[in-house]
Structure 1
């Protein structure tokens, strides 16, 4: 039997076409096709390839098992990639078949497309030897929650040495606050790291001329926060430099939406809960690798004022009425025990990740405000 004949028989078994249609396509009589089907029932999957063997192949798979595998994929796991489906067969259905066999069967039946990899020869970039030496951060827009009606962004921070993911969450749009939130989570859990590798998006770098180098003097909010924390910020100038993150997103795009759909999740909050409790631990347990050196480059954040650093901030001049302008808000600075007033003084307004505001004069916090600019603690000031 040639390869094309095998393909149509497998498609008939997968119920993609009828047996009579397969016979017509192959130019066989229905009786001939029934003989081949009987051969498969007796000799298994390998019986389609070689009739010269006088003994059954040790890799023979019963037809009932093949039909069950193809039926499961068609009815419950359509659209899943081969590796993901293979894991589900073993974990949830107790079917112990090799990944190569499952992939070949799905591709032959026309249920799984074949991937043609490029022929460009590239050299692998050496991973950093220790955890915390280099982290990657990026976002990916995708249909992460099937049926949601719009495509959220997935933000992920990944260690170069191990491919361990320290933080991953879905948000409405990748931007300054989303990145700062991810950085804060990593720093609070692991500590300060050495370098951060990112693309040249506008929330990471100012690029005066498209396609040219970034401006190292005019920092974005993210760049300013990294500089204050002593973390080196490395821009990417080629797609290949972001290959590790692209491969990571490719893996998650093939798995996470299917898992979310199977769990019946329909909201951003529930999806983030699922990622944090189940999918992220699975990734770090299954896909992360051991670093070359056991030591860690993470160091404790110590007394760093993460509230005052990992936020959106800018300087303002206090008006004669002791108010400052922040967008359409005018936070009122109340009297301070250590100074008569702050009119005409330069202060720093910080918009924090939770939406609250603080106004700072040097190392003193002269007021906390809610997202509407109304005082939260009208009679207290705090030292930063």
Structure 2
């Protein structure tokens, strides 16, 4: 197969040919080709042995051994990674496919195929739109792309620059984002990020934005790092509640979450504008371009799988994006597991029924004291039901705690009809009631009087 010559190749052939066949000066040839006399002599020797082909570089026309197959890479994108941005796609090619490729090369491949990244900038979209309009013949995909570009309205999201906090743990920003994180059903990602380091310190998935979701995040923070100085949040009723009858902002009543923060000594600051907590808003934008795709590749389809995957992904995210070193920490000492369990609880008001029991979630419960004796409070007595994160429940009345035991609708065993060998007597466990110095017993009367917005 005859090689394709360039203009420089034709000049080289003509000059060496004149030297060999017409006896022209080697020095003049060296000047014209910017080569030494020794190199001109080698060219003359190759020309006499191989002819014109001897003057052409041996790799001319050959495919480099390290050349990337652009079509193969683009097929990977269309088949598996279509919802990845350019940087994330190049990282996954190296991690999953063993292909090392730069972000700039991926961008070149996208331009060759007239394809936009999911995070394409407005300028890139304008350039592609102009190119497609100037093309005389468009494929079906290109026509669809042009229609999308012409009808799409660019909506930017502005996050003003703010100085970071000095210490790790000085300010944590917390929020929840509703999105189709996995599957086709929307769920809520509860998240907390440190302002000084940009480190994700806790995350939890739930179907709705719930108190339990924020408690799960706070539990992760307390267990892994300790007690932070301050939380910045939205002004939601989960964090703050202002009575409609009160015009004074200083009379905001505690909610479940703010009461837990108050007990731990954490300052809680809430405002309704996104600029108040830009780190968490920007982190949601990053996660929506990365976490969704990672969970899809991992086959995540349930809430439990999503929370298990999130736990491992946060450390990977922090290694890549957070400032991991040289920032001093100001987290307070880590509380014990018992202290955390006693703090992250929910309160609800209930009334003792005529049967001296309390109804919770359509089930009736009997009250027992620390001596394992059933207690019979007067009907219509107002009590507070305390539910821990492990679903264990207690009743608080006049600063006394009572354990609860579910009352079954029917007996499981009839001594008159059933045989003894068909029934095993359940083992009674000792009811554990918190000590007298428990934080639930201490000065909570004001909280229960003012507590109007109940979250179950």
Matched residues in 2 for 1:225 and 1:372: separation? 33
Stretch deviating more after TM superposition (212-221 or 194-203): 212-221
Kindly tell me: are residues 299 and 377 of structure 1, through their superposed partners in 2, closer, same or farther at Cα, counting changes over 3 Å? farther
SS at match of 1:351: strand
CA contact (8 A) 2:159 2:282 kept: no
Distance 1:266 1:119 in 2: 31
Distance 2:323 2:195 in 1: 10
What SS class does the counterpart of residue 333 from structure 1 fall into?
Answer: strand
Q: 1:130 aligns with which of 158, 167, 170?
A: 167
Instruction: Tell me: CA distance 1:65–1:306, structure 2 relative to 1, closer, same or farther (3 Å).
Output: same
Match of 2:178 in 1: 141
2:121 matches 1:115: yes
In the alignment, structure 1 segments of 5+ residues that lack a partner are 1-38, 40-55
CA distance in 1, matches of 2:159, 2:204: 31
Q: Secondary structure at the match of 2:368?
A: coil
Q: Residue by residue, what CA displacement relative to the aligned partner does 1:130-189 show, whole Å, maximum 9, x if unpaired?
A: 1111111111111111xx331111111211111211222221111112111221222122
What is the aligned partner in structure 2 of residue 11 from structure 1? none
Is 1:352 the counterpart of 2:398? The answer is no
Is the contact between residue 204 and residue 216 of structure 2 (CA under 8 Å) also seen in structure 1?
no
Aligned counterparts of 1:181 and 1:122: Cα–Cα separation in 2: 27
How does 1:294-333 map onto structure 2 within 5 Å? Answer: 294-301=328-335, 305-316=339-350, 318=352, 322-326=356-360, 328-333=362-367
Residue number in structure 2 paired with 1:16: none
Who is 1:34 aligned against? Answer: none
Equivalent runs, 1:1-384 vs 2, <5 Å: 64-107=68-111, 109-113=113-117, 114-116=120-122, 124-145=161-182, 148-207=183-242, 217-277=252-312, 279-290=313-324, 293-301=327-335, 305-316=339-350, 318=352, 322-326=356-360, 328-334=362-368, 337=371, 342-343=377-378, 347-361=383-397, 364-369=400-405, 380-382=431-433, 383=435, 384=438
Q: Deviations over 1:179-227 (max 9, x none)?
A: 1122122212221111111112222222568xx9967521221122211
Q: Distance in 2 between matches of 1:325 and 1:175?
A: 22
1:94-125 Cα shifts (integer Å, max 9, x gaps) = 43333233234325533224323989997521
The secondary structure found in structure 1 opposite 2:167 is coil
Pair 83,127 (structure 1): closer, same or farther in 2 beyond 3 Å: same
**Larger Rg belongs to:** 2
State the secondary structure of the residue aligned to 2:257.
Answer: helix
The alpha carbon displacement at 1:269 in A equals: 1.6
Query: CA contact under 8 A between 1:157 and 1:167: conserved in structure 2?
Result: yes
* Closer, same or farther: CA 232–104 of 1 in aligned 2, 3 Å: farther
Q: Is the 8 A contact 2:181 2:187 kept in 1?
A: yes
Distance 1:109 1:78, change over 3 A: same
Q: Deviations for 1:4-54, whole angstroms, at most 9, x for unmatched residues?
A: xxxxxxxxxxxxxxxxxxxxxxxxxxxxxxxxxxx9xxxxxxxxxxxxxxx
Indicate conservation of the 8 Å contact 1:164/1:284, yes or no. yes
User: What's the CA shift for 1:353?
Assistant: 2.3
Q: How far has the Cα of 1:320 moved from its partner?
A: 6.8
Query: 2: distance between equivalents of 1:371 and 1:65?
Result: 70
Distance apart, 1:74 and its partner CA: 1.9
Q: Distance in 2 between matches of 1:362 and 1:305?
A: 22
State the alpha-carbon separation in 2 of the partners of residues 65 and 303 from structure 1. 55
Give the 3 Å change call, closer, same or farther, for CA 86–216 of structure 1 in structure 2.
farther
State the alpha-carbon separation in 1 of the partners of residues 324 and 304 from structure 2: 32
Gapped runs of 5+ residues in structure 2? 1-5, 7-59, 124-154, 411-426, 439-456
Is the 1:355–1:371 Cα contact (8 Å) retained in structure 2? no
- Cα distance in 2 between the residues matched to 1:109 and 1:98: 17
Instruction: Indicate the larger mover: 60-69 or 235-244.
Output: 60-69
The two structures, once aligned, show a CA RMSD in angstroms of: 3.8
CA distance in 1, matches of 2:111, 2:248: 45
Decide whether the 8 Å contact of 2:349 with 2:385 is kept in 1: yes
**TM superposition shift of 1:85:** 0.3
Aligned-residue offset at 1:253: 0.9
Q: Distance in 1 between matches of 2:232 and 2:354?
A: 44
- Output one character per residue of 1:215-267: Cα deviation in whole Å (capped at 9) or x when no partner: 75212211222112211111123222232112111111111121122122222
**What TM-score, normalized to structure 2?**
0.61
Change (3 A) 1:284 1:61: farther
